[in-house]
Amino acid sequence: MHAKPTLASAPECARRLAARFAETAAERDARGGTPKAERDALRDSGLLSLIIPREYGGLGADWTATLEIVRTFARVDSSIAHVFGFQHLLLATVRLFAKPEQWQPWFELTARNQWFWGNALNPLDTRTLAKRCAGWREFSGQKSFCSGALDSQMLIASALDADSGKLLIAAVPTARTGITLNEDWNNIGQRQTDSGSAHFERVRVEESELLLDPGPLSTPFSCLRPLIAQLIFTHVYLGIAEGAFEEARTYSLKEARPWFRSGVERVGDDPYVLAHYGEFWVALEGVRALVRQATDRLDAAWSLGEALDETQRGEVAVAIATAKVAATRTGLDLCSRLFEVTGARSTHAALRLDRYWRNLRTQTLHDPVDYKVRELGDWALNRTFPQPTFYS
């Protein structure tokens, strides 16, 4: 392992990794599967403990610094950005839902060993049930959309209590007997997130591994968890759009040919191309401002801890929903229209410039933006904050 980065050196470390990931991003998009070399590079970098406080061996970053690195990766490889962002979401999950005597040792072990955390939570998938046994629970069933679970050391998993129907969430070692992770993710985008399925066959879950105190959605502070997820995705969406913009710009300047009726010798002098880039720029700058505001509000809320109240949580929810809608719409528009400024030759399959749109389209469908717009309409008209759920 290389020397652990400091908080000050982490952004440059991330930029070096991103440059390395960019070299193979198009080829790996075609191949799919687990980006093992890239995941190991993240382990070796020390960045997996970015959000963990210094007293537990981490770098002590705030959400602004953490999400900026997520976005750095998203500009070149949104699959890597997704699982890297989820690493910090899952660490936040144990921090928000568990007692200090649970999350503090997990933080220390993660920082010391550079553990990857994987997701097997997905509360909308209710096929996993928890049976009460003598001093432990037994998880059995299926889970879908288990991003980053393959090649992880720890999992956040959920099941419905077989007696009460209550959602139970646990942190368990990925290698535990009875857990099978299936290599069945083969979607059009985000092709290296390993977001396939998991099977639990009588998996023993100790009471000390259940995240019950305070548990999910029990306090305004614990309700930050879904908002953190939403903001991670928003940074990924913006990063994808920024990456698409830069790749289109490079292609326009170096490879694209002006249309024969344009009357110009350079694509950079075509008035229609200039108009497109102007529109892209204005839209991106607007999203950047909204994302910056939302991230600042999350950091302020996170710093309040259990003192956070419902109104403050609601203000964070509105800011993040606003940024997410803008990032979704701007990103999908830009990633589609980039071909209008790069031309027919840019559709060559080897370039895989369509991966930006495919990645963004795949990820944005997991949380329909129409429902975010409706929530914002209720806020704008009635001053009703979005109600906390596991997804908003």
391: pLDDT confidence band, cut at 50, 70 and 90? low
Arithmetic mean of pLDDT, 107-129: 97
Instruction: Report whether 193 contacts 185 (CB < 8 A).
Output: yes
Instruction: Note the pLDDT tens digit of each residue in 137-196.
Output: 999 999 999 999 999 999 999 999 999 999 999 999 999 999 999 999 999 999 999 999
3-state secondary structure of 177: coil
- Residue 350 CA, chain-centre distance (Å), reads 27
Average pLDDT, the chain: 96
The residue that leads in pLDDT, 314 or 265, is 314
Amino acid at 88: H
β partners of residue 118: 155
Strands (E), the chain: 117-120, 129-132, 136-143, 154-161, 167-173, 179-181, 198-206
Query: Which residue, among 340, 244, 235, has the nearest Cα to 290 in the 3D structure?
Result: 235
**d(Cα 325, Cα 30) in Å, to the nearest integer?**
29
Instruction: Note the pLDDT tens digit of each residue in 31-89.
Output: 999 999 999 999 999 999 999 999 999 999 999 999 999 999 999 999 999 999 999 99
Query: Which residue, among 326, 331, 324, has the nearest Cα to 367 in the 3D structure?
Result: 324
The DSSP secondary-structure symbol of 129 reads: E
Q: How many CB atoms lie within 10 A of CB 310?
A: 12
β partners of residue 137: 132, 205
Q: What's the length of the chain?
A: 392
State yes or no: pLDDT of 1 exceeds 50: no
Instruction: Report whether 363 contacts 78 (CB < 8 A).
Output: yes
Radius of gyration of the CA atoms of the chain, in A: 22
264: pLDDT confidence band, cut at 50, 70 and 90? confident
Arithmetic mean of pLDDT, 362-374: 94
Asked if residue 214 has a cis previous peptide bond (ω within 30° of 0), the answer is: yes
Instruction: Note the pLDDT tens digit of each residue in 275-292.
Output: 999 999 999 999 999 999
Q: pTM score, two decimals?
A: 0.96
